[in-house]
Structure 1
Amino acid sequence: MSEPIIHYFFVQSPWAFFGFRRAVDIAKKHSVPIIHKPCRAADVWEHGGGVPLAKRPKPRQDYRLVEMRRWADHLNIPINLHPAHFPVDETLAARTIIAVQDDGKDAADLIETLMGDIWLRERDITNPNTVREALTSNGLSSEYLENADLPEIANIYDGNCQSARERNIFGVPTYFVGNEMFWGQDRLDFVDRALG
């Protein structure tokens, strides 16, 4: 079997949302696992020199919206460019995803639902009811929401963030095939080729 795809992301990243289903489909195409590693934006930016959106110069903020509109049109994903609940503390959502994964379940549909809650449905992923509904709508137990507060789940989240720093990630989504890093959903063609 080929190397798995290791996928580092922020739940609230529009770019990770744009690339998410395509990354999952590439993994299926090559019959390899995709291992999702939610991590904290602050950790990645601190290590990699990134700047939170609100602190970026206006020309960069403006061009970000141009690119988001282009990709939304290109991928036919009708995101809201100015969602009501962004930026947001994604800790609860990320840890719930990890709790599902830690139980050996596939969290892909849950991840996509939570991302869509931000970018398509104007829902607040800091609200436990939003996360609970995302779980149940994907056939997953709402107990995972309670498990999100367990110390071992928090440790995995911290471990993802530490791993991101050790692998010199500076933005998301970032994909690894073996030791080769691919930053950005616009590099997914190269991920596909690396597995071919």
Structure 2
Amino acid sequence: MTKTVEFYFDLGSPATYLAYTQLPKICAETGSELIYIPMLLGGVFKATGNASPAMIPAKGRYMFQDLDRYAKRYGVPLKFNPHFPINTLMLMRAVTGIQLRQPERFQAFIDCLFTALWVDGRSMDEPQTVAAVLSEHGFDPQEVLALTNDESVKAVLKENTETAVKRGVFGAPSMFVGNQLFFGQDRLDFVEEALRQI
């Protein structure tokens, strides 16, 4: 039986960035496959009545302090993006398009976008900034832009988001091991535990 972690993610979540830095290692150590499923966090929030913790000032301040603690524990860079919150509709369509049409470049694609957002603090809801980041990493901005306008790509992202909500997802990151849902990068130890019990 193949052990899998289904990773529902949106680039605009700093907690998702931290989970993304750790999940490949957890999967490698447990002999599991990591399945990336792009979704639109704004769509999930709308469907579930949820909102970003950052919308509550005291909670937002705490959240970013806590994420910084985890980044130090994991030994990974994390910079609060001054442009947060980011509208990720275009980015998540691009991610979905690359996953569908150029799967061999998918990892490099999300690597450069996560880094731009949560290490370099770039304004990734500005098309010219996105184009610059893509060019710097060997991607053709026009080709990627075309993917974001592709109706079949839009449909897959919408379907992923609807499926996430049906499965009980209310935020990001959300991970499934079998039918067990784990929410938040601070639940990765439970993800690992579940994988080791299979």
Q: Larger helix proportion, structure 1 or 2?
A: 2
Q: Which residue of 2 aligns with 1:74?
A: 73
Q: Is the 8 A contact 1:20 1:112 kept in 2?
A: no
Structure 1: segments with no counterpart, 5+ residues: none
Q: Give the alignment's TM-score, normalised by structure 1.
A: 0.85
Distance 2:187 2:115 in 1: 21
Letter in 1 for 2:109: L
Q: Which residue of 2 aligns with 1:86?
A: 84
Per-residue deviation at 1:137?
5.2
Select the residue among 93, 98, 101 that pairs with 1:100: 98
SS of equivalent residue, structure 1 residue 62? helix
Q: Is the 8 A contact 1:5 1:32 kept in 2?
A: yes
Q: Is the 8 A contact 1:24 1:34 kept in 2?
A: yes
Query: What whole-Å deviation, never above 9, does each CA across 1:24-67 have from its counterpart, x for those lacking one?
Result: 222333444322222222222233342234532x3312221321
Per-residue deviation at 1:6?
0.8
Change in CA separation of 1:26 and 1:132 when aligned onto 2, cut-off 3 Å? farther
Query: What whole-Å deviation, never above 9, does each CA across 1:2-34 have from its counterpart, x for those lacking one?
Result: 232111112110100111021122233344432
Q: Which residue of 2 aligns with 1:48?
A: 48
SS of equivalent residue, structure 1 residue 20? helix
SS of equivalent residue, structure 1 residue 192? helix
Q: Is the 8 A contact 2:2 2:33 kept in 1?
A: no
Distance 1:140 1:19 in 2: 25
Q: Which residue of 1 aligns with 2:19?
A: 19
Query: What whole-Å deviation, never above 9, does each CA across 1:46-105 have from its counterpart, x for those lacking one?
Result: 33342234532x331222132122122222333223x22211111111111111110251
Q: Give the alignment's TM-score, normalised by structure 2.
A: 0.85
Bigger mean CA offset, 119-128 vs 15-24: 119-128
Distance 1:52 1:195 in 2: 28
Q: Is the 8 A contact 2:93 2:157 kept in 1?
A: yes
Q: Which residue of 1 aligns with 2:111?
A: 112
Change in CA separation of 1:184 and 1:55 when aligned onto 2, cut-off 3 Å? closer
Change in CA separation of 1:33 and 1:136 when aligned onto 2, cut-off 3 Å? farther
How many residue pairs get aligned? The number is: 194
SS of equivalent residue, structure 2 residue 72? helix
What RMSD in Å do the two structures reach over aligned CA positions? 2.3
Q: Which residue of 2 aligns with 1:179?
A: 179
Structure 2: segments with no counterpart, 5+ residues: none
